[in-house]
Amino acid sequence: MNIRGLISSLALSAVLLPPGLAADPQPPAVPNGEQLYQEILAEAAVLEKQGSLLKKVVQLATPSVVHIQTIKTNQVSYNRRTRGEEGSGVVIRIGSGLYVLTNRHVVDEASLANINVRLANGRLLHPVNVISDRRTDVAILSVTGDDLTFAHLGDSNRVDIGDFVLAVGSPFGLSHSVTYGIISAKGRRDLELGDGSIRYQDFLQTDAAINPGNSGGPLFNLRGEVIGINTAIASSSGGSEGIGFTIPINMAMTVAQQLIEQGRTSRAYLGVRLNDDFSETDAARLGLSHPQGAMVTGITADTPAAKAALQIDDVIIEFDGHRIDDDEHLIQVVGFTAIGKAVDLVVLRRGKTVRLQVTLEDRSRYESDG
């Protein structure tokens, strides 16, 4: 039998097969509209059960978030100019007191009488005192009132890239708006923000939508805990482009506690000048394969660095157990280390690893940090 005859025979046998023995099964029946709707309801119920966590986090978090309105006055030559500004904040508890934690730039240049704090329930408060730190852009407002809801605080050291987060604030004056995203990056430093006075930077980066008015508001994890204070956005349009920066809550709380307890911040001092343009050429000259750590270019006499026998061209690669990325990282880590603490250093010196110990002193003994 030729090929054409074989094909014809097979086709005929397929047609003559008795019912139920057909070679090809019948296509599945398409569910009708009601059946499909019921299937969707069942599957949506599973997702909604998981999604209810977000609703509960929002219900827990939003009562602690406040909307801040200020009127600021600038003296320019002989003219007095006023402008309004809006931001956000979060009620926190330190010791037995309740305070509003926010950004300095939200309340800077505004008198107490011109700062309005509006709670989630619409109640209006005026702070009785404001203390701030320009080097971190953190401010603390002392408030009094009954039935204030304070936020639960998380541990920003445990935050990882990819963690889900929620930002709550007042973008464009729309109070208690909630946006959702992830942690996009950690350890963002050397950002050009505002007037350049924010010296101590260790920002978390998030793609949760942050817009003007979110400044000073909290970033929450999925436990409903504050892990950061939203501070700035990177934007060419002035609106959210998915790149927002948040002060880690551990840093913000260290500053807040010092402001409350001392009325100012106190920071540790090492006493070195660093190369802020540590290049491949510098690294090769020092016997390194690539720039790493913080390169020392100068040492101030009679400082902790001098007493510890640090040398020019030393490259600090580890400080108090922290692997140092660059000069900005070292500045941040030193500034938030306890004054008087004896710290172990690991430096690269002419191609060799050297271990030193340095006892940090108060920066105010050597220079102003204002």
Q: Is 126 a catalytic residue?
A: no
Q: Is 279 a catalytic residue?
A: no
Token pair listed for 124: 């209006």
Three-state secondary structure along 207-240? CCCCCCCCCCCEEECCCCEEEEEEEEECCCCCCC
Spatial separation of the C-alpha atoms in residues 325 and 55, rounded to whole Å: 39
Spatial separation of the C-alpha atoms in residues 38 and 49, rounded to whole Å: 17
Q: Is 132 a catalytic residue?
A: no
The residue among 27, 24, 20 whose CA lies nearest residue 11 is 24
Please identify which of the residues 67, 132, 137, 202 carries the catalytic annotation.
137
Chain-centre distance for alpha carbon 215: 12
- Write the DSSP string, 30-81: PPPHHHHHHHHHHHHHHHHHHHHHHHHHHHHHGGGEEEEEEEEEEEETTEEE
Spatial separation of the C-alpha atoms in residues 9 and 23, rounded to whole Å: 15
Provide the phi-psi class of 127: left if phi over 0, else alpha when psi is between -120 and 50, else beta: beta
Please identify which of the residues 64, 67, 105, 184 carries the catalytic annotation.
105
The residue among 275, 251, 221 whose CA lies nearest residue 332 is 251
Longest CA–CA separation in the chain, Å: 110
Spatial separation of the C-alpha atoms in residues 92 and 69, rounded to whole Å: 19
Q: Are 128 and 243 in contact (CB under 8 A)?
A: no
For the beta carbon of residue 329, count every other beta carbon within 10 angstroms. 21
Q: Is the dihedral of CA 60, 63, 64, 65 positive or negative?
A: positive
Token pair listed for 165: 């987060």
Sequence-ordered list of residues with C-beta below 8 angstroms from that of 31, at least 6 positions apart, any chain: 39
Spatial separation of the C-alpha atoms in residues 19 and 323, rounded to whole Å: 75
Please identify which of the residues 156, 215, 329, 369 carries the catalytic annotation.
215
Active-site residues, by number, are 105, 137, 215
